[in-house]
Structure 1
Amino acid sequence: MSAENNYKKGLLLTALGGMALTIDIPLIRLANGEPWTILLLRTGMTFLSALVVWAIWRSFSPKAPQLVPGRTGLIVAALYGIGSITFVTGVFNTSTANLVFILAFNTVFAAALSWIFLKERPQTVTLVTMAVMIVGVLIIVGSSLGTGHLFGDLMGLCSAFFIACAITISRSSGKDMGFTALVGVILPCMVAAFMVSKGGFQVEAPWWILFNGAVIMPISFFCLANGPKYISGAEVAMFYLLETVLAPVWVWMIFSEVPSRNSLIGGVILITALVFHSVWQLHQGRKRRMARAVRHPA
């Protein structure tokens, strides 16, 4: 397959994954259930789907990746699992706009963790972007004081942090973690099963969350995880922004949930900073590729 076709394939994969991710929160809300029940159904179906896909892949090819590659894989799976718990908790305790804007902050956590543990010092532009994003998050969180949304905002921050930790460890290990995020949901599934056994099964429209766990989550995770094979990380990050931009729109259309003024201000700051930084990364990547082409002409 030519480089151009690979690039188009990467764009198609990440676009599909990014668009699928935008309806995650609306489907959770449409199910209209108690948080632990929602978490049980969402993670349980995601885990089962991952096992089915892996088993089919394994039957056709012995080179199918491991579900959990060693001790490092267990740590990464646990981080994704805890992140899933804090994410669903955030969905039920703050607005959709606040949550998706705050989740975009995982890029700052990832850059900081890479700097501390992998000795990858961010460039000046990245540091400036991080500072701007911190201002945006502070505006959003500050607007939640006294509104009852502060706990949900903090859960969103925790989710962003755990995802960033998982990404950093995955990168440092160099191992294939393609299925690890999906298998990691077994932890929140077990916790949710215990809580549901105590409080009872409460959900009005379970088909929405079953569809979410069985179809939407596996598609989004698979496509976004495979995108970097064909296109740059900066381009993949741009498609992650689809959830940040579109999820509040879907929730507004379905539930008439209007973001607060400060939430919109903070969100615009976050999105603008991320888009600027992603475009800058793309420009730097093209410059490096052109330099290599000049040094090694065909």
Structure 2
Amino acid sequence: MGQPRSERGLGIALVVAAAIAWSTAPFFTRMLPFDPWTILFWRGLFAGSLIVVFLVLMQGRAALRQLLAPGRGGLLVASLSTLGMVSFIPALQMTKVMNVAVLIAAQPFVAAALAWLWLGEAATRRTLIASLVALAGVVITVGGIEAGADVGGVALSCLMVLAISAMTVASRRYRQTSMVAAAALSNFLGSLVSLPFARDLVHVDGGHLGILAMFGCLQVALGLTFYMLGSRFLPSGQASLIATLETPLMPFWVWVAFQEVPAVHALIGGALVIGAVVADIAVDTRTRDRS
């Protein structure tokens, strides 16, 4: 039997919501004059706390047991998520943002390869073609790859892509594990790792603490939870493809908040990414209906 349409539709909606939440990162970082590790510490603390509140409200005390004893699958997913988050910050410091963005856009191919090796799940030709179009759109959006990029920054970006791709596949492999608890645990682990490097930790005032709380709750808690839940219901390559919507949506929030009109190349690249994702979903739906 094929996958129920309701599960697939829910998976698509959740991953799209995750991409929208993740795309708000520039909006928050523009308003925070702190070092990245301080932001990562407070953001993870607020995000993990909100997710724990959700868990307790939904499941009671049993949620705390899931957090303290996540099982092999939950611990693996949380560890991979943490590795991806803490690799992202130094990668941005060591190389151009455009290099990081382009490498992130290659994630659908990495996730598809890992899913094939681990789960025997082969990506469709349609999704791979759509991923290529989305990759081209991201390259156009960020302005292309510059030569002479720092090797360390590129290496950390590759590590991040590998970790998030593996997390996507693991979420699908361990579908019976509480991914919400894993999301909370990953944020707390990220805060713990960031603590020794956070220079501005004691300089955060009340106003900025509120922004950090919104950053953690809206961008991280919702984004990571939606993605972990949604990726269980979709092929790993398709989930990663839908998540690339994050890149073209980023200029939208900057435009809304700071009146910075996106460049023409950003609009063209964004249209390619959105078109690739929509086309992949539409053709997949039509194919399933016929079969």
Is the structural similarity TM-score above 0.5? yes
Determine the structure 2 residue equivalent to 1:210.
213
Structure-2 separation of matches of 1:11 and 1:130 = 16
Asked if residue 73 in structure 1 is aligned to residue 105 in structure 2, the reply is no
**SS of the residue aligned with 2:66?**
coil
Structure-2 separation of matches of 1:135 and 1:235 = 17
Q: What per-residue deviation string (whole Å, max 9, x for no partner) do you get for residues 134-188 of structure 1? A: 6666776962325x78866665544332111011122123333232123112222
Is residue 85–residue 188 contact of structure 1 (8 Å, CA) maintained in 2? yes
Unaligned runs of 5+ in 1: 289-298
Determine the structure 1 residue equivalent to 2:190.
188
Determine the structure 2 residue equivalent to 1:291.
none
Structure-2 separation of matches of 1:255 and 1:149 = 30
Determine the structure 2 residue equivalent to 1:37.
38
Is residue 100–residue 247 contact of structure 1 (8 Å, CA) maintained in 2? no
Amino acid at match of 1:19: I
Determine the structure 2 residue equivalent to 1:169.
170
Amino acid at match of 1:164: S
List aligned pairs for 1:1-298, cutoff 5 A: 17-59=18-60, 66-67=66-67, 69-90=70-91, 102-132=103-133, 143-146=145-148, 155-176=156-177, 177-196=179-198, 199-201=199-201, 205-227=208-230, 240=243, 242-252=245-255, 254=257, 270-288=273-291
Distance 1:203 1:269, change over 3 A: farther
CA displacement at 1:76 relative to structure 2: 1.3
**SS of the residue aligned with 1:30?**
coil
Structure-2 separation of matches of 1:264 and 1:33 = 30
CA displacement at 1:63 relative to structure 2: 8.3
What is the RMSD computed on CA atoms of the aligned residues? Answer: 4.2
Amino acid at match of 2:76: I
State the number of aligned residues: 281
Q: What per-residue deviation string (whole Å, max 9, x for no partner) do you get for residues 45-86 of structure 1? A: 1112222222233328x5899336312221211110011112
Structure-2 separation of matches of 1:121 and 1:222 = 25
- Give the TM-score of the pair, scaled to structure 1: 0.71
Q: What per-residue deviation string (whole Å, max 9, x for no partner) do you get for residues 106-130 of structure 1? A: 2221111111222222233334445
CA displacement at 1:240 relative to structure 2: 3.8
Is residue 105–residue 137 contact of structure 1 (8 Å, CA) maintained in 2? no
Structure-2 separation of matches of 1:17 and 1:66 = 23
Distance 1:14 1:276, change over 3 A: closer
Structure-2 separation of matches of 1:134 and 1:10 = 22
CA displacement at 1:18 relative to structure 2: 4.5
- Greater displacement, 243-252 / 128-137: 128-137
CA displacement at 1:247 relative to structure 2: 1.1
Structure-2 separation of matches of 1:184 and 1:81 = 5
Q: What per-residue deviation string (whole Å, max 9, x for no partner) do you get for residues 255-292 of structure 1? A: 5777788777766655544443333222223223xxxx
Structure-2 separation of matches of 1:124 and 1:188 = 36
- Give the TM-score of the pair, scaled to structure 2: 0.73
Structure-2 separation of matches of 1:96 and 1:258 = 19
Is residue 80–residue 163 contact of structure 1 (8 Å, CA) maintained in 2? yes
Is residue 43–residue 213 contact of structure 2 (8 Å, CA) maintained in 1? yes
- Greater displacement, 136-145 / 202-211: 136-145
Is residue 10–residue 228 contact of structure 1 (8 Å, CA) maintained in 2? yes
